[in-house]
Amino acid sequence: MSATAPLSVQGVGVTIENISVAFGETRVLENVSLTVNPGEFFAFLGPSGCGKSTLLRLIAGFGEAQNGRVLIGDTEISQLPPWKRNVGMVFQSYALWPHLTIWDNVAFGLEQRRVPREELARRVEAALDLVGLKAYAKRRPAQLSGGQQQRVALARTLVIEPQVLLLDEPLSNLDAKLRVQMRHEIVELQRQLGVTAIYVTHDQEEANAIADRMAILHDRVIQQIGVPMTMYDNPANAFVAQFLGIANVLEGELLAREQLFRTRLGVDLALPKNLAFNNRGRRVMFRPQAIALTGASGSAPVSGAQFQGRVRDAEFLGNIMRYRIAVGDQLLLADVPHRRGESYFPANTAVDLAIEPEQLVLLPD
C-alpha cells in the first residue's frame, strides 16, 4: 500500500445524543448517547440484533430515529439526506457495480458530485494508489479476489474525502487469514489519513485488534464504552465480561471487612487490595488464563486462593490447551500456553488451582 496519503481528509468528531429507534412495536435503541473523537477508530460491538448497524446507518442517513440527534463536528445532520452528509460507508457486500471497471467504480461518487474531470482523475488515481490497486484500474470486479474487491470499496469511499468513514462488518465475507490481513490494512489507512472511523462488528477479536475505543451494545442500550484492554480487564457487568471473552463466573458472598469473597463452592478468594466495592458483591469473575494449574498436592505456582478440581476434558487450540475442570458442581475453564514437547493433564486427573487476587473482578449485583 502507498506510503503517502495524497487525498485530503480531515477527521472530525461524531456526537450521538439520546437516540431512540423503534421498528413498529420493536424497540431497537433507547436513549443511546456517545461521542467519537476526531481521528479516532471507534467500534460498535455486540451480538446480532443489538442495534449496532442501525446506529451506524443513522449516522450515514439511511434510517430515522424517533428521538435524539446526530452531529458531525458542530453540525447537526439528523435531518440531512445521505448525499448531503460528508460521510463514506463501506458495506459488507462491497456493493460494486459489476459492469463498470475498477476506475469507474471508484470515480462514481465523484461523478455524482460533478467534480471536474482533472480533479476526478487525480483523486481516483490517488485512491487506487492508496489501496495498492492502481494496476487493476481497467479490470472489472469479477476479475478480482474478495480482498481486492474490498480494497476497491474502500477506495471508492475514501475518494470522496469523507470526514467520517463508516464500516459495516466489511470483512465478514473474507476467510480468516484474509480478514486479519485486511483489518491491518484498514487500520493503516485510517492512521495514514487521520479520518474518523466507526466500525461495526460482532467479532470481539476484530474489535479488540482495531479499535482505539469501543461501545458494547446489548438489550437496546450501551453496556460499556472504553479502551478494549481496559474493558476486558474491568468489565462493567457480567454480559460485557462474557461477551468480550471467555469468563469464569462464581456466585457467593462478599465479606468486605475480611477482603474476601466466599464462593458457593466453599472456597474463600482473596480480593485485590483497595477494591472499591460499591454495589458489587454476589459474583466474581476471572479469565481462564488467570488460573495456574499443578498436579494435585504439588507446590502452588502462584500465591492466592488455592483449591482442588478434577479435569473433565481438554481442547487443544494451537496456542493454548483449554481445560474444563470440575470444582464441586461447577465447571471452570483454564488456559495453559502450549509449548512444544510439554505433556498435559489427561481427563480425570486431580489438579490444584490457584488464582491471584489481582485477577479477580467483582461484578455488580
Mean per-residue pLDDT, 74-94: 88
Whether the per-residue pLDDT at 1 is higher than 50: the answer is no
Model-level pTM? 0.88
CB 320 within 8 A of CB 335: yes
State the Cα–Cα distance between residues 14 and 34, nearest whole angstrom: 8
State the Cα–Cα distance between residues 88 and 60, nearest whole angstrom: 8
Q: Is 339 exposed, middle or buried (0-12, 13-18, 19+ CB in 10 A)?
A: exposed
Which DSSP symbol is given to 139?
A: S
How high is the pLDDT of residue 5? 47
- Say what percent of the chain tops pLDDT 70: 94
pLDDT class for 32, splitting at 50, 70, 90?
Answer: very high
- Beta strands (DSSP E) in the chain are 14-23, 26-36, 41-45, 67-72, 75-76, 87-90, 164-168, 196-201, 213-218, 221-226, 248-255, 260-263, 268-270, 280-286, 291-295, 305-316, 320-327, 330-337, 350-355, 361-364
User: CA-CA distances (angstroms) from residue 346 to 299, 316, 339, 350?
Assistant: 19, 12, 16, 10
Whether the per-residue pLDDT at 6 is higher than 80: the answer is no
User: CA-CA distances (angstroms) from residue 167 to 34, 55, 312?
Assistant: 18, 12, 42
Q: Encode pLDDT of 273-291 as tens digits.
A: 877 656 566 899 999 999 9
How high is the pLDDT of residue 279? 52
How high is the pLDDT of residue 296? 63
Whether the per-residue pLDDT at 3 is higher than 50: the answer is no
- Name the 3-class secondary structure at 51: coil
Whether the per-residue pLDDT at 304 is higher than 70: the answer is no
Whether the per-residue pLDDT at 93 is higher than 90: the answer is no
Q: Which of 184, 235, 207 is nearest to 44 (CA)?
A: 207
Q: Encode pLDDT of 238-272 as tens digits.
A: 999 999 999 999 999 888 777 888 899 888 888 88
Whether the per-residue pLDDT at 184 is higher than 50: the answer is yes
Task: Concatenate the DSSP letters of all residues of 152-171 into one string.
Answer: HHHHHHHTT--SEEEEESTT
Q: Encode pLDDT of 154-164 as tens digits.
A: 899 989 889 99
Average pLDDT, the chain: 89
CB 55 within 8 A of CB 32: yes
